[in-house]
Amino acid sequence: MNRRQFLYSASLASLAACNSESEPSGAFQPNWESIRAHEAPDWFNDAKFGMFVHWGLYSVPAWATPLGELGEIDFDVWFRSNPYAEWYLNSLRIQGSPTEKHHVETYGEDFSYRDFTPMFDEASKAWDPAKMAGLFADVGARYVVLTTKHHDGFTLWPSEVENPHLPPEQRASSRDIVGELTDAVRARDMEMGLYYSGGLDWSFNPQPIEKFEDLGATVIHTEEYAAYADAHWRELMAKYKPAVLWNDISYPRQGDLEGIFSEFYNADPNGLVNNRFEIMGEGAEPRHHDFTTPEYAKMDAVTDYKWETCRGLGFSFGFNQIETEEHTIGEAELIHLLTDIVSKNGNLLLNVGPRPDGSIPELQEQRLRALGSWLDVNGEAIYGTRPWTRADAKTTDGLDVRFTQTDDARYAVLLGNPNEATFDAGKIPADAKITLLGSDSEVSYEAEDSGLSVTLPEGRPETHAAVLKIVA
């Protein structure tokens, strides 16, 4: 147990001892005014790159209509032809959907979604959590977020909170996947965050979602479910001591978030929560978050608030067996994406969708290792940096450039590998030294006003993005 985990455990024990007192103890009180004083900690600002893991019953059928086969996105039919494989149960419940047709043809009319449970349990016996965590560490991730319960209500840990709508054999995985991966991730010196679907649970609300305007109406706001979700979050906090509470699809208005957040921050002031605890719809009172989470999207410019783009390597978060190379982000595009996000004060939470046995599909692993290889050479322009005065520029030849900085250096990331480049890099002092990361040679340059012209050294390594380090 490291120092942070020890302090977390001691804090939880202290909080439990104080439960009988009339006044709550700790720096954070169970009210929004107190909780909103919390900000994203330095470790999260420094981390830049995390791994998201979507793994569950939906990994067994592993099927959805890839977005590329739909042409332009038509949101009127999105849920009917949902590219997210983790939404398999919802798609299955929509009569006449491609998923319903595939399911009946493959498994038969009498085979229910819950019948995937023993298949998942059998396959997951082969999972090696140390191997999974090792891959994430090897490719440069600094934190991991695991789906503990997705919208289908199936938990990846042996919860003591009883689900009244599912029989015991269909409630949870036979392995404590949350606990085993948490231990493996921390053994590789990464932070561990936990995803939980707080607003949707199809074991409580079986109504299928067919249109986006119906999504908010299917978020569960009942005393029964609020107590269930609250108990789950408290159980996850007590058992696994997560660094991030990553909620999805809103949270019941009857929930005790003020209590949960204050307990969480008092146990770990360096923990943080995302923005998806907010209630959907107009007129809802704002709650609290440490960072925002755009999905398959990013900001256009530097922001003064912390954000995190989440997305899959393909069009799905859960493993989709029919996604191919054409549906998967390319090596250069992935490297450029991370650089662009970091230049604007964001993190990239990049998702993998394991097979039922926990193995990472080869195409996904290849993309991860390509990104990791680039970070091995150029990571100092990513980790621990902050945005410069602006995020971007273009060379006179039209090549995109992204900027980051530390206290000691400014970095200009050329989104390509040109022999020469001229661009606006701000004022460059006469005695500045410019080097190319991954090369032993200095870069020859000329600087006039805000224009910088560089000639990159010959014989430099091939790369999807050349990084210049500017030190005054």
The one-digit pLDDT tens for each residue of the chain (472 residues) are: 443 444 444 444 444 444 433 345 689 999 999 999 999 999 999 999 999 999 999 999 999 998 765 455 677 789 999 999 999 999 999 999 999 999 999 999 999 999 999 999 999 999 999 999 999 999 999 999 999 999 999 999 999 999 999 999 999 999 999 999 999 999 999 999 999 999 999 999 999 999 988 898 999 999 999 999 999 999 999 999 999 999 999 999 999 999 999 999 999 999 999 999 999 877 788 999 999 999 999 999 999 999 999 999 999 999 999 999 999 999 999 999 999 999 999 999 999 999 999 999 999 999 999 999 999 999 999 999 999 999 999 999 999 999 999 999 999 999 999 999 999 999 999 899 999 999 988 899 999 887 999 999 998 999 999 999 999 8
Residues 316 and 446: beta-carbon distance below 8 Å: no
* CA angle (189, 195, 201) in 5-degree steps: 160
8 A C-beta contact, residue 211 and residue 226: no
Distances (CA, A) of 146 to 51, 208, 290, 312, 344: 8, 25, 19, 13, 25
Parallel, antiparallel or unpaired: strands 272-273 and 244-248: parallel
Given CATH 3.20.20.80, say whether it is the number of domain 27-381: yes
Side-chain-side CA neighbours of residue 352 (13 Å): 26
Question: CA-CA distances (angstroms) from residue 432 to 334, 365, 408, 446, 457?
Answer: 31, 39, 12, 11, 17
Dihedral sign for Cα atoms in the order 452, 455, 456, 457:
negative
- Distance separating alpha carbons of residues 141 and 135, to the nearest angstrom: 9
Long-range contacts for 430-434 (Cβ within 8 Å, ≥24 apart)?
431/472, 432/470, 432/471, 432/472, 433/470, 433/471, 434/468, 434/469, 434/470, 434/471
Identify the pLDDT of residue 418.
97
Q: Is the dihedral of CA 172, 178, 184, 188 positive or negative?
A: positive
**296 Ramachandran zone, left/alpha/beta (phi>0; psi -120 to 50):** left
Overall CATH class of domain 392-471 = mainly beta
Strand ranges in 339-450 using DSSP code E only, listed in sequence order? 346-352, 392-394, 400-405, 410-414, 420-424, 433-436, 444-448
Domain boundaries in the chain? 27-381, 392-471
The SS3 assignment for 55 reads coil
- C-alpha angle 463-466-467 in degrees, rounded to nearest 5: 140
- CA 271/CA 290 separation, integer angstroms: 9
d(CA 300, CA 302): 7
Per-residue tokens: 77: 């039919």
Taking each helix axis from N to C end, the angle separating 362-378 and 129-138, rounded to the nearest 10 degrees, works out to: 40
Q: Look at residue 389 in the predicted model and tell me its pLDDT.
A: 96
Give the whole-angstrom CA distance, residue 137 versus residue 132: 9
Instruction: Kindly report the number of other CB atoms within 10 A of residue 357's CB atom.
Output: 14
Rg of the chain over Cα atoms, rounded to whole angstroms, equals 24
Q: What six digits make up the tokens of 331?
A: 């090596």
403, 410 in Cβ contact below 8 A? yes
For residue 197, what is the enclosing H or E element? strand 191-197
Q: Structure tokens of 420? A: 């020469």
**Cα–Cα–Cα angle for 257, 261, 21, nearest 5°?**
95
pTM score, two decimals? 0.94
What is the distance between the alpha carbons of residues 39 and 35, in angstroms, rounded to a whole number? 9
